[in-house]
Amino acid sequence: MNVDLGSYATYVLSAYGVSLALLVAICWASIVRSRRVKRNLAAVEARVMSRSAP
């Protein structure tokens, strides 16, 4: 696939680069938040289970 972007190549390729960088950042932030939420949930569940144990 050979696309001639002409004088717009800089703008188009930089837009693709920025979009890709933002997608990676969003995925990374989602993974980090998911791990934090899972860790917090496990801590809360452990506290609840320790309180309800006879």
- Find the Cα–Cα–Cα–Cα dihedral 50, 52, 53, 54, rounded to 10°: 140
Read off the pLDDT of each residue in 38-42 and give the average, rounded to a whole number: 97
**What's the pLDDT score for residue 38?**
98
What would the mean pLDDT of 42-51 be, rounded to a whole number? Answer: 91
Write down the pLDDT at residue 5.
87
DSSP string, 1-54: -----GGGHHHHHHHHHHHHHHHHHHHHHHHHHHHHHHHHHHHHHHHHHHHH--
- The domain limits of the chain are 23-54
Q: For the residues 36-50, what does the mean pLDDT come to?
A: 94
